[in-house]
Structure 1
Amino acid sequence: MTVLALAVAAAVLALPSPAAAHPFGDPQTVSITPDEQRPDIVRVRWRVGGPDDLTLLGVSLGLLPADRVLLDGAVDYRMTDPAVLASSEQFPAYLLKQITVADGARQCVGAVAPLKALARAGATVDYTCPGPVGTVTVAVRMLTDLNPAYRAMATGPGGQRAVYGSGEDSHDWTLTGGAPTVGSPSRGRSAAVQLAAVVGGALLVAVGALLVSRRVRRRRAVA
């Protein structure tokens, strides 16, 4: 093999392979906090689990070409994809539709903060409620319309935790006065169980992929 051929082969091998956006990678994260200066404000910060999921969302919103999702489900992620979503009108509208905050029967109005470094820093939304809030209901449905297996790990004041997912997209959060501690038996234990289920699901997928890989290798060896 010539030096030129070796160089070409090395360049091909060095090319990044398309990422596979799926709900069994790193989970989304959500933080829910009050605004100490404005008691009627609830601040929600959302971060995507993997940047390739932003590409998948961009295709779904019509911001990126459909051929960026390959036939085998792999995603052709590009570094400019988060900026495309951040500069659009569709993504903030999607964010406000999929994440909602209510103070009892009263809905709180969300305003998306300027989006900078979406893949790394995430998106922040300030929800203005009709009056000072103590306990609010926060619903998170981000990406579950693309695949119901997506999950979001959420944290709140006083060590409150919850896991959002399809069928469990709404949780109550105490923002002032007697917020549960980290060891709170209700939400903390429930979140731990759900987190274990998510991790267990990811491990099952990994084990399944390993078994399939071994079978393929054995068949090749026999052939």
Structure 2
Amino acid sequence: MPPHRRRRWRGAVTAFALAMCSAVATAASVALVPAAAHPFGDPQTVAVARDEQRPDVVHVRWRVGGPDDLTLLGVSLGLLPEDRLLPDGNVDYRYSDPGLVGPSEQFSAYLLKRITVTADGRPCVGAVEPPRAVARTGATVDFTCPGPVGSATVTMRTLTDLNSAYRALATGPDGQRAVYDSVRESHDWVLTGGSATRSANLGRRAAVQIVSVTAGALPVATVALMLFRRFNRRRKAVT
């Protein structure tokens, strides 16, 4: 084989092998990335925690994914005119919208209706803290339970009444995570102690995800390596 062809073949095989290895690494990292949340932009986020000073209080902080979602909610609550929803499906968002929606009684009532907490099978009573800059920092609902809370069931149904494609990415103590949607509306949270096992289970599930995602890519990388080795043997035989 002429030298220039050997160089081209070696470069092609090397590039292919590196690309396959990169694909395997990328697939492993993608396995841990949450799936897309909803069709309108960033997902809602939720943080669940027990009050350190008042063990019978559970804090649920809700933050909207995008400001235009607040506009959509404001229209549904009757706080904004319906013509803010455009015929093409887009939303006519204005910077003043969060300031109109956040402090309203309708918004607080909506959160208390769509977010609920139970502990030991008994409902907790919610109260919405006056939100400040709701589009940026969100809103917090404090739930007072009948007694000290070790674990609680949090039900989250915000925005899914407007479109079932909405999602909420939730976090809790010690790395606990959950995804809320129109099907999975409730999740049990360990708020004090005993969450190490849950975190370990999350780690094991993540490892299984990586193995399943990379299993299909590994044979391709193996073929690339075999081609590379065959090329080296052929080059040595020629030289």
With the length of structure 1 as denominator, give the TM-score of the two structures: 0.73
Unaligned 5+ segments in structure 1 are 1-21, 194-223
Report the secondary structure of 1:120's partner residue. Answer: helix
1:28 aligns with 44
Q: For the pair shown, which has the larger CA radius of gyration, 1 or 2?
A: 2
- 1:92 is aligned to 2:108: yes
1:123 aligns with 139
Equivalent residue in structure 1 for 2:79, among 63, 85, 89:
63
CA gap 1:97/1:71 in 2 versus in 1, 3 angstroms: same
CA gap 1:187/1:162 in 2 versus in 1, 3 angstroms: farther
Alignment of 1:39-118 (within 5 A): 39-118=55-134
After TM superposition, give the deviation of residue 24 of structure 1 in Å.
Answer: 4.2
1:161 aligns with 177
Point out 4+ residue stretches in structure 1 off by more than 6 angstroms: none
**How many Å separate the matches in 2 of 1:187 and 1:100?**
28
1:16 aligns with none
CA deviation string 1:8-41 (max 9, x = no partner): xxxxxxxxxxxxxx64410000000110100000
Report the secondary structure of 2:58's partner residue. Answer: strand
CA gap 1:70/1:97 in 2 versus in 1, 3 angstroms: same
Percent identity (aligned): 68
Q: Larger relative contact order (C-alpha < 8 A, sep ≥ 6)? A: 2
1:132 aligns with 148
Alignment RMSD (CA, Å): 2.0
**How many Å separate the matches in 1 of 2:205 and 2:102?**
35
2:153/2:188 contact within 8 Å kept:
yes
After TM superposition, give the deviation of residue 145 of structure 1 in Å.
Answer: 0.1
CA gap 1:41/1:25 in 2 versus in 1, 3 angstroms: same
Relative to total residues, which structure has the larger helix share, 1 or 2? Answer: 2
Q: What residue identity is the alignment partner of 1:126? A: D
Report the secondary structure of 1:173's partner residue. Answer: strand
Q: What residue identity is the alignment partner of 2:55? A: P
Greater mean deviation of Cα atoms: 83-92 or 50-59: 83-92
Greater mean deviation of Cα atoms: 180-189 or 65-74: 180-189
With the length of structure 2 as denominator, give the TM-score of the two structures: 0.68
